[in-house]
Amino acid sequence: MRKILKLEDLKDWKRVACLISVIAGLQFIIITIIAMIFYSGGYVFFEYTFSYLGTTIAENGTDNTISRVLFVIACTIAAISLNPFWFVMPTLFSEKNLTKYLSLLGSICGVVSSPFLFLLAIIPGDIDFNGHILATNIFFLLFAAAILIYSVTIFLNEDYQNIYGFVGIAFSILIVLYPAVFRNIDLIRAFMQKIVVYGFCLWVIYQNTKVWKVVGPENNS
């Protein structure tokens, strides 16, 4: 994106969507880190998963309200603010029927994943573990599907650099490996989850560097 934001950028809904989705990713990273700082009893980065942030009671048996509220806020903002990104992405792949329909499918997966991001936050793992895990798994699978579909779509689009697709494929592999492999390895489970989740955020931000270049008034004139 440009180093200096111009007023004209805010007149185009696609660029506004880019800004909103970038903010969504950045705020999630920042707020969850703050939530870790306020986690009652101390948050062990390489041992605790994100689910610990959303529990009502911390591991030391004390109230975890501050961390939980911050976690819910971060997930709720992300769940809502990522939708503009999914709406703008199909506009980049409308020239061919195949890429158009693939991009629509990818965005549908992305939009449908949003409510589950909200649900996994408001359902604390220490109160309803099964409900929390179900919402988490569905979110991961749908978001992974969206990234994978868009990665294929990018490879099929000659105007889109393949590097954006390769990055998506890499994150998709990590997402699939996490529940299948890494979740069962205690020493790296929490760390790998953070790579996957923050990878989600960075993937969205990274994609927007491309979207920003090809949308906007000067490119549609």
Give residue-wise pLDDT tens across range 101-152.
999 999 999 999 999 999 999 999 999 999 999 999 899 889 989 999 999 9
Contact yes or no for 74/122 (Cβ under 8 A): no
Q: What percent of the chain has pLDDT over 70?
A: 88
Q: Is residue 120 part of a domain?
A: yes
Count: domains in the chain: 1
- Of 58, 47, 28, 35, the closest CA to residue 190 belongs to 47
Using one digit for the tens of pLDDT, what is the confidence trace for 1-26? 445 566 666 677 888 888 899 999 99
More confident residue, 187 or 27: 27
Q: Is residue 157 part of a domain?
A: yes
Using one digit for the tens of pLDDT, what is the confidence trace for 20-75? 999 999 999 999 999 999 999 999 998 899 999 999 999 999 999 999 999 999 99
- Of 102, 204, 113, 217, the closest CA to residue 157 belongs to 102
Q: What percent of the chain has pLDDT over 90?
A: 56
Contact yes or no for 150/168 (Cβ under 8 A): yes
Look at the block and give the residue holding tokens 């709720």. Answer: 76
Q: Is residue 221 part of a domain?
A: no
What is the domain extent for residue 147?
12-214
